[in-house]
Chain A
């Protein structure tokens, strides 16, 4: 069927639908899909005109037909979708063409009915409020109806968000047997609206195994060409191009497009010669445009795009290609050997984990390894949540690191992009478990060179296992480019030849097998003193022998020095720009202008906090804590400083940025003192625990975050439940932990309603708990009306209320 012909035969899609419907009287804001039932003859007429113009593939009038977007009372969505499919088939019959339903060969031209799937019009979490699985369900039902009604393929288009695109493709692949086409909408920067670049979109779609992919809408054919060039460079799949008839222009309040059919055809000829295999039109194009394009391009020869050999992992924002220099995979999101990290996992302190991610990216990591495995925690749930949260604050790809296949699957499913996966081994059992997941969700998987017999102690043995992993993967259709082999670094303290074997393995994998490689570099020095000395030297040697990506600690200065130097030395850093950019600024800070060195000895800790000098406060605290008791420092320096700033804020002499700079400075001082006290076993008594949440439906949490920082400064423990938090979740934790004070924030009148619901539930389930509220639309009257105990006009007032409550209660 059409699958086999893709890339061998030039296919023509139809053109615009919306613009033609508007000409026939569709009002702005009216749902075009209702016309399938209201004015079927108009829809059928448009389909027929396209078929007569030469379109082979006709899109159903279902672009906005999904439960999230289609709110038309009195119209059944199912009926609307199914009727849409029939209308294409009826139009084909009317035009004397075949629809694939004929019992025998009729010699008629075959028309393919493509179920058109557009975006939901909602933004997915965490940027918006639509859950990934809800988006999936909305797409799924429409696709199932479409297949039932006889659609020949599913055409997902105009997607501006890779996450939504993934939900749609998964829904199609998991619930229908139809071919899946997917096209996205780019802007003039060659990016999606949510920031993704071309390689990342292609990596995602190829990983999910769509049948064809491409570009539609947003631009005219001329502007699309640079995007197409990138598609041709990266795609191994047939490419679809459906431009608008130029850029939209406005006249008399109407939008119009002004590329004529002849001009359009000329551009499309060029587009086909560049490598497009399926062409058509989007907004503003008409049957005349398609007719002209068909006439111009009909006899052009096309060829299936060549198989590309790039190893690309992607996040929502960018693709990272392995093989161009050596990439850095940050290893710090991993509890192994890290007490604080383990504690953060146990206490569900996601912010701690997220900060580890941010710090590593800021230090130069290209990919982040994510391992949250710990006995006694629900790893699949934790992994899923961590991946979701991380991808909302770092835009580099993640490496899902787990031996729990349930955790691996859940993370792969909700990951926004094509993930790196750590790992599979040469053990049959491991390959049987991991490869089906990679086949289903896409991904670049790390293959460990060990098998049932353990780790071979020579390079030959490791290379053989690598080849076996590659062979086994091929059975699943997973290509060599999507496998990265871990040559395994064994500590030289117990294996004298460990480094040599690993380096030889790397070299042979590069030269003989032609596969990308990875290493957990620092294993090499296990058991030795001054490990960074060995690690950095070995890292350089490994890169020299072809290491495509090193799993390292990007916060280690030694490792980063090795990385920068290697790339500068090997001509992998044009004009040493990166090296100079990094180290020239380092020099100035080393020569004495660094803020921490600037004021030391000149100002007191109290002053540094009052002035909000974070680095100074940390440096001074470190020095001071050598000679003074931490609790003493808190009582004589920190608390008076905070009080002074807090008073100033209340009097109107200190303003919010300064208040928070002081808070951040105090926080950095507290962190150092806490380390000291942890070591000496001393504890600072906390005043009490406060639960904070931005209520259900509300996604503006900056006010709540300000309150959190201040409360923590004033020795409160804060349980931060985040934003868009359901009332039950807040009530549950308040009950479970017998919390005495809950702080709720809401920004708009529409969400104060959920604040009121939350208060009602708290009154019922936790009558002992006081509730303080804050947010832009609130005032005292409003707060009284919804039954809050306290209205905090600003963050300091919330702190004062909390202090009063807990201190009086003592």
Chain B
């Protein structure tokens, strides 16, 4: 089964169960539908990383206090600030479908989430290949809100990337990203190659999560 199909099924709360054929066909069709309305875009910039004291790290001019991010970036000399969005068309479609058929709306929601992850993975691999030429290897993406990496860091990250202008990604006063199917992240780059290039879910400490892979 395609990876994004598996992911969508997981987001729909199936856990380790498989979805019935009808649901799988609906998911398949929904991916096709979402491909038409989504306009994925991303932006990234590479900054120098400095480990300050314990739990304090500096990316470019941004100082961040976070034990989990410090751990994630340990040994990194650079970090990629990354922002990506599927665009407003996806939100509009989900909102529209919510009015007429909630079962389709939740499937659209799950498919969009899976598409966004897939898109970020793809872009991260592209970025990784380029940085490998400079002898740098990427760590798993780490987003504001993971562990003790405070969600409020989303604001300076989006400013440093000029997300609004470059990819149309903005934020509400309560730090929600708009369009909603969007990601900001820090991706560490270290001169030492390690084993796991992409890992999101598994790295989380909330081991009792029902959506865990």
Give residues in A with beta carbon < 8 Å to B. 27-30, 118-119, 121-123, 126-129, 158, 160-161, 185, 187, 189, 191, 193-195, 217, 250, 252-253, 255, 351, 354-355, 358, 392-395, 612, 614, 652, 655-658, 660-661, 663-664, 697-702, 705-706, 709, 747-751, 754, 794
How many chain B residues touch the partner (CB < 8 A)? 56
Task: Pick from B68-76, B83-91, B193-201 the stretch touching chain A.
Answer: B83-91
Q: Report if A698-B102 is in contact (Cβ < 8 Å); known contacts: A28-B61, A121-B164, A127-B88.
A: no
Residues of B within 8 Å of A119, CB to CB, are: 164-165
Please tell me if the beta carbons of B174 and A698 are within 8 angstroms of each other in the complex.
Answer: yes
Please tell me if the beta carbons of A28 and B151 are within 8 angstroms of each other in the complex.
Answer: no
Give complex CA distance A658, B21 in Å: 12
Q: Which 9 A-B pairs have the closest CB atoms?
A: A193-B168, A660-B103, A253-B46, A697-B174, A129-B172, A29-B160, A121-B164, A128-B178, A661-B103
Please tell me if the beta carbons of B165 and A158 are within 8 angstroms of each other in the complex.
Answer: yes
Q: In this assembly, does B13 line the interface, its C-beta being within 8 Å of a C-beta of chain A?
A: yes
Q: In this assembly, does B95 line the interface, its C-beta being within 8 Å of a C-beta of chain A?
A: yes
16 contacts between A and B (CB under 8 A): A29-B156, A122-B171, A123-B172, A129-B172, A195-B39, A217-B165, A250-B45, A351-B99, A395-B92, A658-B20, A658-B103, A663-B102, A664-B101, A706-B102, A748-B174, A748-B175
Q: Mark B185-212, 1 if CB is under 8 A from A, else 0.
A: 0000000000000000000000000000
Option from B45, B107, B180 in Cβ contact (under 8 Å) with A657:
B107
Closest A-chain residue to B94, C-beta based?
A: A702
Residues of A within 8 Å of B87, CB to CB, are: 193, 195
Q: By CB atoms of chain B within 10 A, which of A355, A657, A702 has the most?
A: A657
Residues of B within 8 Å of A194, CB to CB, are: 88, 168
Q: Report if A750-B159 is in contact (Cβ < 8 Å); known contacts: A29-B62, A393-B92, A393-B96.
A: no
Residues of A within 8 Å of B143, CB to CB, are: none
Residues of B within 8 Å of A749, CB to CB, are: 145, 151
Closest B-chain residue to A362, C-beta based?
A: B100
Please tell me if the beta carbons of A705 and B61 are within 8 angstroms of each other in the complex.
Answer: no
Within 8 A of A (CB), among B11-54: 12-15, 17, 19-20, 23, 26, 39, 41, 45-48
Q: Report if A393-B95 is in contact (Cβ < 8 Å); known contacts: A700-B176, A747-B176.
A: yes
Give complex CA distance A187, B170 in Å: 17
Shortest B120–chain A CB gap in Å is 18
Please tell me if the beta carbons of B170 and A122 are within 8 angstroms of each other in the complex.
Answer: yes
Q: Report if A702-B160 is in contact (Cβ < 8 Å); known contacts: A160-B168, A193-B87, A193-B168.
A: no
Shortest A442–chain B CB gap in Å is 23
Closest B-chain residue to A754, C-beta based?
A: B174
Q: In this assembly, does B2 line the interface, its C-beta being within 8 Å of a C-beta of chain A?
A: no
Please tell me if the beta carbons of B176 and A28 are within 8 angstroms of each other in the complex.
Answer: no
Q: By CB atoms of chain B within 10 A, which of A614, A661, A663, A664 has the most?
A: A661
Please tell me if the beta carbons of B12 and A657 are within 8 angstroms of each other in the complex.
Answer: yes
Q: Mark B141-166, 1 if CB is under 8 A from A, else 0.
A: 00001000001000010011000110
Please tell me if the beta carbons of B17 and A128 are within 8 angstroms of each other in the complex.
Answer: no
Residues of A within 8 Å of B26, CB to CB, are: 657
Give complex CA distance A212, B94 in Å: 37
Residues of A within 8 Å of B178, CB to CB, are: 123, 127-129, 699
Please tell me if the beta carbons of B96 and A358 are within 8 angstroms of each other in the complex.
Answer: yes
Option from B17, B61, B88, B91 in Cβ contact (under 8 Å) with A655:
B17
Please tell me if the beta carbons of A121 and B170 are within 8 angstroms of each other in the complex.
Answer: yes
Please tell me if the beta carbons of B172 and A699 are within 8 angstroms of each other in the complex.
Answer: yes
Residues of B within 8 Å of A358, CB to CB, are: 96, 99-100
Residues of A within 8 Å of B62, CB to CB, are: 29
Shortest A620–chain B CB gap in Å is 19
Closest A-chain residue to B151, C-beta based?
A: A750
Q: In this assembly, does B125 line the interface, its C-beta being within 8 Å of a C-beta of chain A?
A: no
Please tell me if the beta carbons of B174 and A355 are within 8 angstroms of each other in the complex.
Answer: no
Q: By CB atoms of chain A within 10 A, which of B23, B167, B173 has the most?
A: B173
Option from A250, A697, A700, A702 in Cβ contact (under 8 Å) with B46:
A250
Q: By CB atoms of chain A within 10 A, which of B62, B95, B107 has the most?
A: B95
Give complex CA distance A121, B167 in Å: 11
Give complex CA distance A30, B160 in Å: 8
Please tell me if the beta carbons of A748 and B151 are within 8 angstroms of each other in the complex.
Answer: yes
Q: In this assembly, does B4 line the interface, its C-beta being within 8 Å of a C-beta of chain A?
A: no
Q: By CB atoms of chain A within 10 A, which of B61, B96, B151, B175 has the most?
A: B96
Closest B-chain residue to A255, C-beta based?
A: B45
Please tell me if the beta carbons of A705 and B12 are within 8 angstroms of each other in the complex.
Answer: no
Q: Report if A657-B103 is in contact (Cβ < 8 Å); known contacts: A699-B172, A702-B94.
A: yes
Shortest B28–chain A CB gap in Å is 13
Please tell me if the beta carbons of B106 and A660 are within 8 angstroms of each other in the complex.
Answer: yes
Give complex CA distance A109, B145 in Å: 55
Residues of A within 8 Å of B12, CB to CB, are: 655-657
Shortest B8–chain A CB gap in Å is 10
Closest B-chain residue to A185, C-beta based?
A: B165
Closest A-chain residue to B210, C-beta based?
A: A793
Option from B14, B88, B100, B159 in Cβ contact (under 8 Å) with A355:
B100
Q: In this assembly, does B179 line the interface, its C-beta being within 8 Å of a C-beta of chain A?
A: yes
Residues of A within 8 Å of B145, CB to CB, are: 748-749
Give complex CA distance A126, B23 in Å: 30
Residues of B within 8 Å of A250, CB to CB, are: 45-46
Please tell me if the beta carbons of A699 and B88 are within 8 angstroms of each other in the complex.
Answer: no
Shortest B2–chain A CB gap in Å is 18
Give complex CA distance A326, B47 in Å: 56
Closest B-chain residue to A613, C-beta based?
A: B22
Shortest A221–chain B CB gap in Å is 19
Give complex CA distance A717, B96 in Å: 22
Residues of B within 8 Å of A253, CB to CB, are: 45-48, 78
Please tell me if the beta carbons of B160 and A656 are within 8 angstroms of each other in the complex.
Answer: no
Shortest A464–chain B CB gap in Å is 45
Q: By CB atoms of chain B within 10 A, which of A27, A28, A664 has the most?
A: A28
Give complex CA distance A281, B17 in Å: 56
Give complex CA distance A119, B98 in Å: 30
Option from A121, A255, A698, A706 in Cβ contact (under 8 Å) with B176:
A698
Give complex CA distance A474, B64 in Å: 61
Please tell me if the beta carbons of A702 and B106 are within 8 angstroms of each other in the complex.
Answer: yes
Please tell me if the beta carbons of A664 and B23 are within 8 angstroms of each other in the complex.
Answer: no
Option from B167, B171, B175 in Cβ contact (under 8 Å) with A193:
B167
